[in-house]
Amino acid sequence: MTGKSKNIENYRINGADTIKDNNITGPTSSSNTANSSHFKAELILLGVVVIWGYTFPLVKNVMELIPPFTFLAYRFLLASLTIYLIFQKQLRNINLDTLKKGFLLGFFLFIGYFGQTTGTQYTTATKTAFITGFSVVLVPIFAFFIIREKIHFNSIIGVIMAIIGLWAMNSRASLTHFNKGDALVSLCAVFFALHIVFVDVFTKKYDYVQLVFVQLFTVFLCSLTMSFLLEKEALHISYHWPVWWAIIFAGLFATAMAIYLQNRFQRHSSPTKIAIIFSSEPAFGAFFSWLIMGETIGLVGIMGGLIIFAGMIIAQLSKVET
């Protein structure tokens, strides 16, 4: 292997996705490559959102058969084991700093799931979806204060359209009464937004595979602790196949693969654009709920989904952010 080949191989092993050669690519070529990289990353992340949308009816169908923290514990245990078995060589030398950053991301993720799962028990699913969607608003605000990301005009329009779309999809809900469940789901929106922003920060400085494993294992430990404290009787393996299918799909695809892809490709876009893409999750959730469970959202709800997608497109028209 030549010296140049060794350098390229080492660059790939260290997590780089693009190899630049100033002797080959000029300014125009580099710009086109950057645009292509951004589009590819955002398309993959849209696929992640589709998977998350499918989990709405999948998980809802088994929540009466298994309590939430126990479900999350099994889900994140499977996800953690999957990442470990695939990337165990990269996980042998996790330093203390990566552990701290991964734990912080995992803590954000766990509080988000805790707020959403627990809050749903005290409020309606419609209000839960709408309030969770406010993470779209919070991301550019947090990104501005935490990483000084400039908020482009098209991103603002996209965010506003995403909010309007989410409202339209949940127009049957009453937001005049703010109860304990609403407060918990609001906590979820805050921590999901923080998770998006800090994933953008940390994956540019640390090994994203190690970060994925640490945050997934953190959520597993937190969920297992809550399950042991509140749902101890449910910690067994004698569940029927529908429950295990939900755990397997959610653990392998909606968690291990999805969060791995998020951590790998989010760094090629901006937190604000990622928030716009993630705001389409209720649209896919509504579609799969209709397809699998026969739930309908009406004409206004369909229009809301179209508005969300329009907001995503408008957000992509802004200049590539550096």
**Residue 66, CB-side half-sphere exposure with 13 Å CA sphere:** 27
Beta carbons of 80 and 264 less than 8 angstroms apart = no
Q: How far is CA 120 from CA 156, 180, 182, 185, in A?
A: 29, 10, 8, 7
pLDDT at residue 24 is higher than 70: no
Q: Could you tell me the pTM of the whole model? A: 0.75
- For residues 217 and 107, the answer to whether their CB atoms sit within 8 Å is no
201-247 pLDDT per residue, tens? 998 899 989 999 999 999 999 999 999 999 999 999 999 999 999 99
Could you give the percent of the chain with pLDDT greater than 90? 33
DSSP string of 261-317, one letter each residue: HHHHHGGGS-HHHHHHHHTTHHHHHHHHHHHHH----HHHHHHHHHHHHHHHHHHHT
Count other Cβ atoms within 10 Å, centred on residue 201. Answer: 16
CA angle 272, 277, 283 (to 5 degrees): 140
CA distance 239 to 187: 31
pLDDT at 8: 35
DSSP 8-state class, residue 174:
-
* Predicted confidence (pLDDT) per residue in 44-65, tens digit: 989 998 998 888 788 878 878 8
pLDDT averaged over every residue in the chain: 79
In Å, how far are 62, 63, 72 from 248, measured between CA atoms? 13, 15, 11
Higher pLDDT, 54 or 158: 54
Q: Please give the residue that has the higher pLDDT: either 114 or 266.
A: 114
Q: What is the pLDDT of residues 259-310, one digit of tens each?
A: 888 878 877 777 777 777 877 777 787 788 888 878 776 777 778 778 877 8
